[in-house]
Amino acid sequence: MGNKIAEIFIPGPAGRLEAKYFKSEKNTSPIALVLQPHPQYGGTMNNKVVVEIFNMFIENNFSVCRVNFRGVGKSDGEFDNGQGELADAAAALDWVERENFDNSQCWISGFSFGSLIAMQLLMRRPEINRFIAISPQPNVYDFSFLSPCPTSGLMVYGNKDELVPLENLNELNKKLTSQKGIKVEFQSIPNANHFFTKSENLLIKTLNKYIKKETTLF
């Protein structure tokens, strides 16, 4: 990785947001934003799964940013039950777009709680044209706002997820795959738990395959 991953601060609605940023050397590279798991359960942008997603985007020539929500790490402010975190994600996406105004594609990704915020941001930002949601929790959060889901994407979960019953994921799958004009792919990782402990390699393969397939379309 010739370009270094930079530590940056992004102006956010509750003060500055700590972030890590990698800029691709190619001008029209796609861009991606990766969102962290729940701050109140120890989630940060340095979570292992978040870092894996971030690195996968780098390997596929994206300019990519991962960010600490308000009150996490060196980010100002305090936890705001999802509303403020959504505003933080929007500010981070604004920043990445300004840095890469000639991007060819805009992706959003998130892990666990981060996948909820990613999907909420997706509903508000028409320029986002692909998403990767990892370990979504439809049993905890209501995903019914995704009707219709505006763009195609990938949802990945472990089939041994100890926090999310499979029937909730199957229900979400049914709801999203019946929508016309978009393709939401659901991928279950065998024997993986919510955090993909010991299943990182399979997760990385799945992400890489999807990113490669979807970036060649543009």
End-to-end Cα, the chain, rounded Å: 23
Using the predicted structure, report yes or no on whether residue 63 has a pLDDT greater than 50: yes
Residue 1 has what pLDDT? 44
Mean of the per-residue pLDDT values of the chain: 96
Using the predicted structure, report yes or no on whether residue 137 has a pLDDT greater than 70: yes
Distance CA 167, CA 78 (A): 34
Sequence ranges of the domains in the chain: 6-215
H, E, C per residue of 134-179:
ECCCCCCCCCCCCCCCCCCEEEEEECCCCCCCHHHHHHHHHHHHCC
Q: Per residue in 85-119, is it b (16+ CB within 10 Å) or e — as a string?
A: bbbbbbbbbebbbeebeebebbbbbbbbbbbbbbb
Per-residue pLDDT, averaged over 197-201, amounts to 96
Contact 32/56 with Cβ under 8 angstroms? Answer: no
Distance CA 66, CA 89 (A): 10
Which tens digits make up the pLDDT trace of 85-119? Answer: 999 999 999 999 999 999 999 999 999 999 999 99
Residue 216 has what pLDDT? 83
Contact 179/172 with Cβ under 8 angstroms? Answer: no
Per-residue pLDDT, averaged over 108-136, amounts to 98
> Model pTM greater than 0.85?
yes
Residue 35 has what pLDDT? 98
Residue 147 has what pLDDT? 85
Q: What percent of the chain has pLDDT over 90?
A: 94
Per-residue pLDDT, averaged over 69-83, amounts to 98
Per-residue pLDDT, averaged over 191-208, amounts to 97
Using the predicted structure, report yes or no on whether residue 83 has a pLDDT greater than 50: yes
Which tens digits make up the pLDDT trace of 4-55? Answer: 999 999 999 999 999 999 999 998 999 999 999 999 999 999 999 999 999 9
Using the predicted structure, report yes or no on whether residue 2 has a pLDDT greater than 60: no
Per-residue pLDDT, averaged over 147-167, amounts to 96
Residue 217 has what pLDDT? 72
Residue 218 has what pLDDT? 64
CATH superfamily, domain 6-215, is Alpha/Beta hydrolase fold, catalytic domain (3.40.50.1820)
